[in-house]
Amino acid sequence: MRDFREFRSKFEGLLAAARKRAALAGGAPARRPTRLRELTGFGVNPGNLRMFAYAPKDLPPMAPLVIVLHGCTQTAVEYDHGTGWSSLADSLGFAVVYPQQQPANNPKNCFSWFLLDDIARGHGEARSIREMVEHAIATFAADRRKVFVTGLSAGGAMASVMLATYPEVFAGGAIIAGLPYGCASNVQQAFEAMFTEQEHAAQALGDRVRAASRHRGPWPIISVWHGANDPIVRPSNGEEIIRQWTNVHGISEGPSYLEYIENHTRRVWSDANGEALIEAFSISGMMHGVPLATTTGERCGSTGAFFLDAGISSTHHIARFFRLHESLVEMPRAAAPVSTTIQIPTDGGALVIVGAAAKGVHSLAETWLAEDEKRQTHYPIDPNAVIAAAFKAAGLPVPEFPTALPGTPPSVAPGPIIAAALKAAGLVGS
């Protein structure tokens, strides 16, 4: 009980401190009109949740559907203002559903991702959200093959619940500052999972998902986001989510490639065909919240408590990962943050990261980022050619790579790279 009281006090203090910081930074948020409307009579509701939704005026039939789950102390309206999902729905042509917790269920408005009666298939809050999905598909004539779920914190953990208990319903999910499925079955265990380092075997984590339903694949694609300095939900939970879903997908725990977007890290796990199954973002310097870009790049949402300007729009990135831009309404593509490194797949599936400090490399990086999907589906490439182009664009001595033998799979030759780097640094003669 003493540990429980300490955890609870810490949790409530961190929530209050985050809201106080947001208020001091921007003042009290102005009351804004909401774009959401409440839908009632959506089916059985054993979890006692409310349903809010938004759909563009001229939503085409068979459009995608995104289920968005708010965090503790938040409401559907607040989360929509912060993340900008309904605004993006206007651009891309999809419907959004916001399940909302009620204080009668949880005084902090947290979804009950840690209570067995609410996280089992066919029961509690998980069943209520499933009913909302079916009601929204019928109401908006949505494509049931393109249903996705995302959420923050307790909402992220609840997204884990939905992906595990109804994997046949969701094509993909995005978990922001959340926790893996099955890591807690009561409030005490929930606090322990949030505040202490947890490390479970990948097989055990995957078994929790497999035991949650009779489904045996195909499995949803997963996007994981976590602030590197998160004090409320330890970043190790993001790693647990990754291990859980790499095991479920039956792929290596090591990523297929890695890249830096600004100073943030993105890892990707791909299948044998190069299709991304899992991605994970570690947001440098960020605390607990949703990463936003409100001043540069792809602007979306608005800052506030747990909505943090990190120079990267998680809403836009998640939408692209879900391929929502492939819906009938064309997505206006704003300038995305440019990677300051170039990603190069090697024959071993790892990645060589080449620094790109000179301005000339940025245009090359933009080209490569724009061709991301092509890179994923057109392996192998010659990494040495990419490295040589990067050195040339930066105005550096170009490595002299040996000619590859016909039929030999592409691989990185480190010797010429080291020689060129030493030459550029003036440590060896020309």
Catalytically active residues are 153
The 3-state DSSP class for residue 269 equals: strand
Distance CA 22, CA 175 (A): 23
Distance CA 200, CA 198 (A): 7
Q: Taking Cα atoms as reference points, which of 257, 245, 199, 242 lies closest to residue 381?
A: 257
Compute φ and ψ for 137, nearest 5 degrees: -60, -45
The 3-state DSSP class for residue 353 equals: strand
- Cβ-proximal residues to 318 (8 Å cutoff; 6+ apart), any chain: 150, 174, 223, 225
Q: Which two tokens stand for residue 208?
A: 């929790």
The 3-state DSSP class for residue 282 equals: strand
Q: Are 56 and 90 in contact (CB under 8 A)?
A: yes
Q: Taking Cα atoms as reference points, which of 153, 159, 60, 48 lies closest to residue 100?
A: 48
Distance CA 423, CA 430 (A): 7
- Element at 242 (helix H, strand E): helix 236-249
> Angle, nearest 10°, between helix axes 154-165 and 202-210?
70
What is the CB neighbour count within 10 angstroms for residue 207?
16
Q: Which two tokens stand for residue 124?
A: 């509690």
